[in-house]
Amino acid sequence: MEILEPAHYGEYEEFVLHHQNGTFTQSTHWPQVKEGWGHGVIVSRGADGAIRGGMVVLTKKVPGLNRNFLYAPRGPICDYRDEETFADLVEGAKAFAKKVRGFTFKMDPMVGADDRTFIEMAKKYGFTYKEDQTDDDTIQRRNNYMLDLTGKTADELLASFHQKWRYNIRLAARKGVEVRVCGKESLPDFMKIYQVTGARDGFNTRPQAYFERMLDAFGEHIRLYICYYQGQPVSGAITTNFAGKTCYVYGASDNNFRNVMPNHAMQWAMIQWAIETGCTTYDFQGIPLDLSGEDHMHGVYLFKKGFNGQVVTFTGEYDMVFAPWVQKFVDTSEKVLLKLRRTGKK
């Protein structure tokens, strides 16, 4: 294993960009977005010296303690059947944790929920794994909704959508909805509808500076889409195009003019970008784990379902604790903070 120096990040970036399990959160560009976090890059090399596995590990210092939480979002990147490489990367995580005084290491690779071989391998090398993790247990949702683009033309994909979705895409065009690929100068328009969305759906919104960093960091691998109707921004998205996957990462929609179907038009434009750039997957990203209709985000699932993709469920999170007393302190602190928030205290 090797903890890479920044001068060699380009080699790792090429590896992740062309790996079948690569993802934008394992790019060296992602730490540039995460203000207040540190990071390291760990790689494993084969006999020929080429990288065969790697991961970006984010670090976050616990306030008041000289200890760091370590997290590899959707990492590591490797062949998940290659135990030798996985074991080497685990040793790298341990060495990196020692270097930065890490008290725990968390990973949540894009491994299917039914992959018992990987689960048992992770346990073998020291990870704890909780079965049946819920959306409250994990940083990222375990369910993603994905559209397979392999070998399909735009016309074939459009024909596969639910009839009402095809109608809505065409309706948006007839009504004069304009889907634009925008630059940073249009972020204020995005933020207006993004904040409306956060208030409506009950989530905390990120500041404009966060999206500025994201657009700067990923360059040609990211786009800001905004739909305009009668000169007004009515929906928008921040979308990545990396390692053969186009991912709908952040979305926004106004409460007004939803009847002209801007969200359908925007998704179709982003799917077409994925096709044009040779991606094999369009990832609508998270949907609820509970698809019974009880989750407050069930409507998001129903919207994405109309594009005729499939639900992909991941195994969830794996943890390796190096300092149990620090972990216990952090867990207790988080419970207290959650209780205070629920009682309205600050």
Output the tens digit of pLDDT for each of the chain's 346 residues.
999 999 999 999 999 999 999 999 999 999 999 999 999 999 999 999 999 999 999 999 988 888 999 999 999 999 999 999 999 999 999 999 999 999 999 999 999 999 999 999 999 999 999 999 999 899 999 999 999 999 999 999 999 999 999 999 999 999 999 999 999 999 999 999 999 999 988 888 999 999 999 999 999 999 999 999 999 999 999 999 999 999 999 999 999 999 999 999 999 999 999 999 999 999 999 999 999 999 988 999 999 999 999 999 999 999 999 988 888 878 776 665 554 443 333 2
**Residue 18 backbone phi and psi in degrees, to 5:** -110, 5
Q: Between vectors from CA 189 to CA 185 and to CA 192, what angle results, nearest 5°?
A: 140
Helices (H), the chain: 9-17, 30-33, 83-100, 116-124, 154-160, 163-174, 187-201, 208-218, 262-276, 298-305, 324-342
Give the pLDDT score at 334.
64
Q: Do domains 2-142+314-342 and 144-313 have the same CATH topology?
A: yes
Classify 144-313 by CATH class: alpha beta
Residue 60: Cβ-neighbour burial (10 angstroms; 0-12, 13-18, 19+): middle
Give the pLDDT score at 6.
96
Give the pLDDT score at 296.
87
Give the pLDDT score at 326.
85
CB 268 within 8 A of CB 258: no
Give the pLDDT score at 340.
42
C-alpha to C-alpha distance for 47 and 313, rounded to whole angstroms: 34
CB 284 within 8 A of CB 248: yes
Tokens of 144: 């993603």
CB 72 within 8 A of CB 107: yes
Tokens of 8: 């060699």
Per domain, the residue ranges of the chain are: 2-142+314-342, 144-313
pTM of the model: 0.93
C-alpha to C-alpha distance for 87 and 317, rounded to whole angstroms: 17
Among 58, 2, 53, smallest CA distance to 29 is for: 58
**Residue 19 backbone phi and psi in degrees, to 5:** -90, 140
Q: Judge: domain 2-142+314-342, CATH 3.40.50.2020.
A: no
Buried/exposed code over 91-130 (b: 16+ C-beta within 10 A; e: otherwise): ebbbebbeebbbbbbbbbbbbebeeeebbebbeebebeee
Residue type, 260: V
Residue type, 244: G
Buried/exposed code over 301-331 (b: 16+ C-beta within 10 A; e: otherwise): bebbbbbebeebebbbbbbbbbbeebbebbe
Q: How many helices (H) and strands (E) does the chain have?
A: 11, 14
Locate tokens 């024909």: which residue?
Answer: 159
